[in-house]
A and B are shown apart, each in its own frame.
Chain A
Amino acid sequence: MECNGCEFRPELFYDDEYQIWVRREGDGTLTVGMTDLSQTIAGKIIHVRVRRPGTRRPPGKPVATIESGKWAGPIPNFFDCTIEEGNPDVLETPTLLNSDPYNAWIARVAPAGSADEALAGFLTGDAAHEGYCERAAREDIHCSRKIK
């Protein structure tokens, strides 16, 4: 699925600005990544830093920091969690976030409560697709996987 050339995956969970996606893992942990919208806005990503594994991150405290040529900022966090690990491939090759944003996860985290509780405030499926397309249209974002 896509909008303005921006890939959307209905099985993932999204914040209400579609900055990040969250995937439920079989062991109760959650993986976090950037959406196609976010990687397009950021441009070529030159550095990713993740909080050290074992660090507790309450809501509002970022799990990672991203630097691109024109943007620096957090990968926001919306639920209480502990960092399990950063994706070593992404830490070594940050442009994977540009070229393959839905497979290049950034961090795996363990929610303080259940995964269901952590994901309660997120959007998924058709509702998320509608909001994702609305943002792409409203801000005239056309996604590109080209790394410039």
Chain B
Amino acid sequence: MSVDDHYLENDEQSIVMIVTAGPSTPHRCATPFYLASLLASMDAEVSMFFTMEGVRLMEKGVPEDLAAMEGGKKIIDFIRDAKRAGAVLHVCQPALPGYKIDGQADLIPEVDHVSRASVLADLLMTCDKVLSF
């Protein structure tokens, strides 16, 4: 790899990340935020949409106690890295009742939007790339 390969190009892209991984598979829960941080810091417009069990990563008390590996960095810290880099976090409103999560009271403050499925549909139809976890 030459030095020139380490320079970033200037194309800006929009990326949607759909996250369904949750606390039952902790080893799958850090990577989405790590990638979101990286992509957002490269000027990509990153939207993360949490649905199915992924909504539990946005529930107060869950990411604070969860790590992808034993003794590793907590998921809440990965979430904060992604937010600091500029990622926007959507929680799937229709998925919340199945996990008995109150969208007003039970979500961590890092959540930007509690969104209906049609918001995800709009994001998918207008973005450049989709990643799913």
Chain A residues proximal to chain B, CB less than 8 Å:
47-53, 55, 61-62, 64-65, 67, 70-74, 86, 88, 91-92
Contact = CB atoms under 8 A, between A and B. Distances in A.
Interface in B1-34: 3, 6-10, 34
A43 to B, nearest CB: 9
Given A72-B37, A73-B84, A86 B73 contact: no
Q: Is the interface of A mostly helix, strand, loop or mixed?
A: strand
A49 B42 contact: yes
- Kindly name the residue among B7, B9, B37 whose own CB sees the greatest number of chain A CB atoms within 10 A: B7
Contact of A65 (B3, B8, B9): B8
14 contacts: A47-B6, A49-B7, A49-B42, A51-B8, A53-B7, A67-B38, A72-B81, A72-B85, A73-B37, A73-B85, A74-B41, A86-B3, A88-B3, A91-B3
Interface residues of B, number: 19
Contacts of B6: 47-50, 86, 91-92
B43 interface: yes
A45 B37 CA distance: 15
Given A61-B43, A70-B72, A92-B3, A51 B10 contact: yes
A59 to B, nearest CB: 14
Given A65-B41, A73-B85, A50 B7 contact: yes
A67 B39 CA distance: 11
A108 to B, nearest CB: 13
A43 B41 CA distance: 18
A84 B56 CA distance: 44
Interface in B65-81: 72-73, 81
Given A49-B7, A49-B8, A50-B6, A70 B73 contact: yes
B3 A72 contact: no
Nearest to A89: B3
Nearest to B41: A74
A62 B12 CA distance: 13
B63 to A, nearest CB: 15
A28 B25 CA distance: 52
Contacts of B40: 74
B7 A65 contact: no
Contacts of B10: 51-52, 55
Nearest to A94: B6
